């Protein structure tokens, strides 16, 4: 039995030792934002943590359910971390919002796309605006379209000649305390089995052919994880529980708020010469 | 500690005896639909079951997540049960969709309203159409409007001179097996503490001044109920778990499908001279 | 034959003289915003202009279709004008978004409500936040609900004990040049025959019992007005043209942008101790 | 000056002669549906009519604004005509909804996709269901995504190995009488300059590499066309008028109804062993 989590921070906690070979870990605090940087440097460490090799940045923020707490400074901190993982060129960035917009905790990807603005069609004709070329895409889910996200995202990467993909996705945490107040940014893309609907295929440099930065916010805990935590291995109804997820009653406010904060943070990372306020009005 | 449920059927199961004084119970099966009728006839029985005195009809149907299963016959069966509880007059019926349309499992009320059609403005001027006068209202939730549903629904009842209210609401079940395949219809209205957001106030004949028929579908189980079931009284994090709910991964399909089936069933109960197919095209 | 317009500024232009008895008119320019204040002081002047007696403030702004142009200063200017017409008390303000959210140019009212935030439920319990009590309501349209907006708004005014109503509505202009770059604020409420759907009933102090401030943005021109302008009285198909309206191809951007600017402006007028940026994060 | 229209029927009317060389025209009436079949057989005829060579079927139906009029028979008639133009194989059909879902009269494409259901992911694994493989895609518009529809549709055709594309689009008519009561089905795809936003690029067999069936419903008239019709060549403000369109006040009902009728008609053409009623429940 394994507890399911998409957070490198929690995978690392589950291993539990004070130091893990092949893993570099740094903690920092800025403006009340706790930042943990985990680098998984070897295949062996990747196996122990059950996460791909690469860099994982976790930001612990004020809760997205309390909109008054977010502010320009948090956005600038998130933007800086995103920027640190994006290839330093001026090619097109394809921004992809994974997930099902009809299931509230899974809608963070499509909602972030909705709150973002595309510039690919104007960055070339109006270079004086200093926009990086950004294209937007929400693939929806297999049941809605008959097309796997991994197929349609690859088609878009090829057609737009994107140099890099940013995927936004809802994550599963093992702890309800992390829901709606954590952002994970990594350079390893999306792994199978993550998100609300855990049948997702890989979206990473190997499958897409370009670097893939993944930005995720935990919005659900598996119902099985809750049951295991309460009752241990004796849990009944495992099959049925595995088809259920747990999410906060205030998930609507979390998604609404988090998607706008992510959209602004990504815009700030893309179009650095603009202030957050300008970007807010641009994305109206 | 009590397990939370809004279903009279489950309250009755929790009591467990083969017969309960003051409770009349009948079971029936029609076209693969299991119908249980529970009448709570005394205050004492109401206290034992923790449900208001009145009539509760529970329909166990093919799952709403499998759209191909629903059909005209199921709709006609639900319609007949709704009709049996509606006052037999020709006054205006106010159809109220409770809940938060931004939280998928709580959206069944507003979505049913969206799939319904109003006739109050045409039933008088075009009596030849044989429509019963129906007005529609989705009060949304306190955090969205600053107004309690109970206040705004009462305001609408008074202003439309409604003779009767039908409220549609998402319910909490104690069992994940009942989610998305059960309809409860009752003549006792909505009680405090039901639904996804359990801070709801009463909507019943006493508070609204007219008969209130409630139609509900269980779409969530409290996270605490899942934890109790797995681990008993020793559960940690009770406060945090009480702010969480459990819902199926396919909740989007359940809500989409169930709201359209309810809308058609209610329309059939209201406008009896029309066929289900006609009503489908009317509600396009 | 009369050309149709909801703008006092255009009614005044149609009269054409340099001075009109009973009408006081002042023009001003602030930060590139042209402000025209028209006060209609007598019944005779009201008849000549075909507008109710009262105060009309018209702001000519940078186009709402160019989101980058809007900024904190414009919002503060609009807020100041709204504030000047609102009764100076601390009672509840009921914010009403008129119109049909399924018709893009008519959606400015409901969309402004969506971008606003309610405080009535927290202003009393948390006086330290310094929020004025604001309740939100979108009545939708008769065909959607079977209830006249005038009925349901009156019901809400009574139930919330509102001291004042602000209605937001789409307006008809006689000129396509005014679409999407004009805001009219007045203290006379809404008159019959205004908006996209011109069968609307009055919403004013007389019908609602409290002061009614109306905020409108012209988003359509009647198709008949366009035809008259091109061809004069000889226009064919008058009946059919009267069922049509004219609107810009970029109406989606206008509505999206204008509704957020209005929501922020109204919030600034309501909650004066907050900055526009704080209000933006509050309304996320 | 040319009057703009996307309807072959109107292009043919504009030429005006009783017979046109290279054009075959047939009229028929079934169940109150008027069907006109125009085949443009030569390049010369194509130039005269200003339409691509190919087959155009125009159905004149009862108005989509009166939902009660549509019925199973109309859907079966539309389905038969669609079927007649679809390649008779069992490869994947890519169903594409063009247009901007934020502008009501342009939303018919995306709304039809929303009301349709995908089968590509189940047709192979569950052949016993007898579904043709159908994938769904709504490319949105350039301003929303930074990607041309023609680019993203081509990407999807290649990735899904579609044998055929069906595009659904809003059309411009020259006459307000045709709005909301006409369906055009053709085998020539989409031409530049059609639709609400007339900057669209080609989507046809040449650009996509597979047969392209286009299904369109006229929902707008150009404002310039209305002005020309009223006033002739003397019209002022040509530039501004060309940025405006004319649409019916009841466009919301037309779009809602028409998109569901189209979705059912296409489903019937794809999955012939199912009844319209079954398909309705499948698409809930």
The DSSP code sequence of chain C is -------HHHHHHHH--S--TTEEEEEEEETTEEEEEEEE-SHHHHHHHTS-SEEEEEEE-S-TT-GGG--HHHHHHHHHHHHHHS-SS-SPEEEEE-S-TTSGGGTHHHHHHHTS---HHHHTT-GGG----EEEE----HHHHSS-HHHHHHHHHHHHT-SEEEEEEEEEES-GGGTTSEEEEESS-B-TT-SSSTTPPPBSHHHHSS-EEEEEEEEEEEHHHHHHHHHGGG-S-HHHHTTEEEEETTHHHHHHHHHHHHHHHHHHHH-TTS-HHHHHHHT-
At C88 the pLDDT is 85
> Nearest residue of A to residue D160 by CA position?
A147
Res A1 pLDDT > 60: no
CA–CA dist A180, A173 (Å, integer): 10
> Nearest residue of C to residue B134 by CA position?
C146
Minimum-distance CB partner of B240 among A103, A177, A234: A177
Return mean pLDDT, chain D: 92
Candidate from A234-238, B255-259, D17-21 with smallest mean pLDDT: A234-238
Interchain CB distance below 8 Å, C281 and A68: yes
The bridge status of strand B54-60 relative to strand C23-30 is unpaired
Please give the structure tokens belonging to residue B60.
């166990």
Q: Give the relative orientation of helices B149-160 and C149-160 as an angle to the nearest 10 degrees.
A: 130
Q: Higher pLDDT residue, D187 or D236?
A: D187
Q: Which of A173, A142, A137 is nearest to A155 (CA)?
A: A137
Q: Which residues from chain B sit within 8 angstroms of residue A223, using beta carbons?
A: 176, 226, 246
The bridge status of strand A54-60 relative to strand D33-40 is unpaired
Please give the structure tokens belonging to residue D238.
């040509």
* Kind plus residue range of the DSSP H or E element containing B107: none
Q: Count of CB contacts below 8 A, B vs D?
A: 34
Q: What is the mean pLDDT of residues C254-268?
A: 94
Interchain CB distance below 8 Å, B134 and C155: no
Q: Which residues from chain B sit within 8 angstroms of residue C142, using beta carbons?
A: 121
CA–CA dist D224, C230 (Å, integer): 10
> Nearest residue of D to residue C224 by CA position?
D226
CA–CA dist B264, B116 (Å, integer): 7
At D197 the pLDDT is 67
Residues counted in chain C: 284
10 Å Cβ neighbour count for C128? Answer: 6
10 Å Cβ neighbour count for C53? Answer: 17
Return mean pLDDT, chain A: 92
Interchain CB distance below 8 Å, B281 and D256: no
Q: What is the mean pLDDT of residues D25-52?
A: 96
CA–CA dist A213, A167 (Å, integer): 6
**B126 close to D68: Cβ distance less than 8 angstroms:** no
Interface test with D, best of A97, A145, A154 (most D CBs within 10 A): A145
Q: Which residues from chain C sit within 8 angstroms of residue B121, using beta carbons?
A: 142-143, 146-148
Q: Which of D61, C271, C105, B237 is nearest to A229 (CA)?
A: B237
Candidate from C27-31, C193-197, D163-167 with smallest mean pLDDT: C193-197
**D221 close to D229: Cβ distance less than 8 angstroms:** no
**C97 close to C110: Cβ distance less than 8 angstroms:** yes
Candidate from C28-37, C85-94, C198-207 with smallest mean pLDDT: C198-207
Q: Which residues from chain A sit within 8 angstroms of residue B234, using beta carbons?
A: 230
Q: Higher pLDDT residue, C66 or B5?
A: B5
Q: What is the mean pLDDT of residues D50-57?
A: 96
Interchain CB distance below 8 Å, B135 and C145: yes
At D72 the pLDDT is 83
Give residue-wise pLDDT tens across range C150-181: 999 999 999 999 999 999 999 999 999 999 99
C65: Cβ contacts below 8 Å, ≥ 6 apart = C180, C248, C250, C253, C254, C257
Q: Which residues from chain B sit within 8 angstroms of residue D256, using beta carbons?
A: 284
Q: What are chain A's partners, defined as 3 or more CB pairs within 8 angstroms? A: B, C, D
At D198 the pLDDT is 67
Give residue-wise pLDDT tens across range C234-243: 888 888 999 9
Please give the structure tokens belonging to residue A164.
């890099």
B42: Cβ contacts below 8 Å, ≥ 6 apart = B21, B22, B53
Please give the structure tokens belonging to residue C177.
């040049």
Q: Give the relative orientation of helices D72-85 and D251-270 as an angle to the nearest 10 degrees.
A: 60
By the 10 Å C-beta count (0-12 exposed, 13-18 middle, 19+ buried), D27 is classed as exposed
Candidate from A38-52, B247-261, C194-208, D9-23 with smallest mean pLDDT: C194-208
Give me the helices (H) in chain A, please.
8-15, 43-49, 72-85, 108-114, 120-123, 142-145, 149-160, 205-208, 223-231, 238-241, 251-270, 276-282
Give C198→chain B minimum CA distance, Å.
17
Nearest 5°: the CA angle A45, A48, A54 is 40
Res A50 pLDDT > 80: yes
CA–CA dist A117, A274 (Å, integer): 14
CA–CA dist B276, C239 (Å, integer): 35
Minimum-distance CB partner of B146 among C134, C142, C151: C134
Interchain CB distance below 8 Å, B261 and D284: yes
Res D215 pLDDT > 80: yes
pLDDT band at D278 (very low <50, low <70, confident <90, very high): confident
By the 10 Å C-beta count (0-12 exposed, 13-18 middle, 19+ buried), A29 is classed as exposed
At B68 the pLDDT is 58
Res C61 pLDDT > 80: yes
Res B17 pLDDT > 90: no
> Nearest residue of C to residue B143 by CA position?
C118
Q: What is the mean pLDDT of residues D51-68?
A: 89
CA–CA dist A239, C274 (Å, integer): 51
Distances (CA, A) of D148 to A118, B190, D109, D135: 12, 50, 16, 19
Give D36→chain C minimum CA distance, Å.
24
Res D69 pLDDT > 60: no
Res D33 pLDDT > 80: yes
Give D230→chain C minimum CA distance, Å.
5
D57: Cβ contacts below 8 Å, ≥ 6 apart = D35, D36, D37, D38, D81, D84, D85, D184, D185, D186
> Nearest residue of C to residue A255 by CA position?
C284
The bridge status of strand D244-248 relative to strand D212-222 is antiparallel
At D184 the pLDDT is 98
Q: What is the percentage of chain B residues whose pLDDT exceeds 70? A: 96
Res D251 pLDDT > 90: yes
Q: Give the relative orientation of helices A251-270 and A72-85 as an angle to the nearest 10 degrees.
A: 60
Give residue-wise pLDDT tens across range C106-120: 999 999 999 999 999
Res D2 pLDDT > 80: no
Q: What is the mean pLDDT of residues A113-128?
A: 92
Rg (CA), chain A: 18
Distances (CA, A) of A232 to A162, A226, A245, D194: 46, 10, 18, 63
At A255 the pLDDT is 96
DSSP assignment of C32-59: TEEEEEEEE-SHHHHHHHTS-SEEEEEE
pLDDT band at A187 (very low <50, low <70, confident <90, very high): very high
At B282 the pLDDT is 80
Complex confidence, ipTM: 0.94
**D222 close to D172: Cβ distance less than 8 angstroms:** yes
Q: Which residues from chain C sit within 8 angstroms of residue A108, using beta carbons?
A: none
Candidate from A59-68, B43-52, B203-212, D17-26 with smallest mean pLDDT: A59-68
Res A232 pLDDT > 70: yes
Q: Which residues from chain D sit within 8 angstroms of residue C231, using beta carbons?
A: 227, 229-232
At C68 the pLDDT is 57
pTM score, whole prediction: 0.96
Q: Count of CB contacts below 8 A, A vs B?
A: 101
Q: What is the mean pLDDT of residues C76-98?
A: 95
The bridge status of strand D164-173 relative to strand D212-222 is parallel
Res C65 pLDDT > 90: no
Interchain CB distance below 8 Å, A284 and C71: no
Candidate from B51-55, D67-71, D114-118, D183-187 with smallest mean pLDDT: D67-71
Rg (CA), chain B: 18
CA–CA dist D137, D206 (Å, integer): 20
Interchain CB distance below 8 Å, B284 and D260: yes
At D185 the pLDDT is 98
Interchain CB distance below 8 Å, B229 and A236: yes
Q: Count of CB contacts below 8 A, A vs D?
A: 78
Q: What is the mean pLDDT of residues A70-79?
A: 87
Interchain CB distance below 8 Å, C227 and D226: yes
Nearest 5°: the CA angle D197, D201, D206 is 150
Res D196 pLDDT > 70: yes
Res A266 pLDDT > 60: yes
Q: What's CA A157's distance to the chain center, in Å?
A: 18
Give C72→chain A minimum CA distance, Å.
9
Give D102→chain A minimum CA distance, Å.
12
Q: Count of CB contacts below 8 A, A vs C?
A: 34
**A248 close to A254: Cβ distance less than 8 angstroms:** yes
Q: What are chain D's partners, defined as 3 or more CB pairs within 8 angstroms? A: A, B, C
10 Å Cβ neighbour count for D233? Answer: 7
Interface test with C, best of A61, A263, A284 (most C CBs within 10 A): A284
- Sort residue D54 into left (φ over 0), alpha (ψ -120 to 50) or beta: left
**C263 close to C110: Cβ distance less than 8 angstroms:** no
Q: What are chain B's partners, defined as 3 or more CB pairs within 8 angstroms? A: A, C, D
CA–CA dist D116, A41 (Å, integer): 47
Half-sphere exposure of A147 (CA within 13 A, CB side): 32
Mind listing the domains of chain A with CATH numbers?
Answer: 56-272 (3.40.50.1450)
- Sort residue C103 into left (φ over 0), alpha (ψ -120 to 50) or beta: beta
Interface test with B, best of C102, C147, C271 (most B CBs within 10 A): C147
At C41 the pLDDT is 98
Interface test with B, best of C145, C165, C200, C284 (most B CBs within 10 A): C145
Q: D96 has which bridge partners?
A: D137, D167
Minimum-distance CB partner of A70 among C70, C261, C281: C281
Give C80→chain D minimum CA distance, Å.
31
Interchain CB distance below 8 Å, B235 and A230: yes
Give D40→chain B minimum CA distance, Å.
36
Per-residue DSSP letter, B284: -
Q: Which residues from chain B sit within 8 angstroms of residue D281, using beta carbons?
A: 67-68, 70-71
């Amino acid at each position: 039995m394994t507890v399911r989590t998409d957070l490198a921070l929690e995978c690392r906690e589950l291993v539990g030792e004070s130091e893990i070979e092949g893993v570099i870990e740094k903690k920092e605090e800025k403006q009340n934002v706790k930042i943990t940087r985990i680098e998984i440097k070897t295949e062996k460490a990747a196996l122990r943590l059950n996460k791909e090799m690469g860099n994982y940045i976790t930001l612990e923020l004020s809760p997205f359910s309390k909109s008054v707490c977010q502010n320009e400074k948090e956005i600038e901190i998130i933007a800086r971390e995103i920027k640190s993982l994006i290839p330093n060129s001026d090619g097109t960035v394809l921004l992809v919002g994974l997930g099902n917009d009809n299931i509230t905790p899974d809608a963070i990807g499509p909602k972030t796309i909705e709150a973002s603005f595309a510039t690919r069609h104007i960055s070339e004709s109006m270079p004086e605006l200093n926009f990086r070329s950004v294209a937007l895409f929400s693939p929806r889910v297999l049941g809605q379209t008959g097309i796997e996200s991994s197929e349609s995202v690859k088609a878009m990467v090829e057609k737009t000649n994107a140099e890099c993909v940013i995927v936004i996705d809802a994550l599963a945490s093992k702890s309800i305390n992390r829901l709606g107040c954590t952002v994970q940014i990594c350079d390893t893309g999306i792994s199978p089995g993550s998100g609300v609907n855990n049948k997702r295929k890989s979206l990473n440099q190997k499958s897409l052919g370009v670097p893939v930065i993944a930005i995720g916010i935990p919005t659900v805990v598996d119902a099985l994880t809750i049951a295991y935590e309460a009752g241990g291995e004796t849990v009944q109804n495992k099959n049925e529980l595995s088809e259920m997820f747990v999410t906060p009653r205030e998930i609507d406010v979390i998604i609404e708020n988090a998607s706008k904060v992510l959209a602004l943070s990504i815009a700030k990372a893309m179009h650095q010469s603009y202030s957050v306020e300008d970007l807010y009005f641009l994305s109206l």
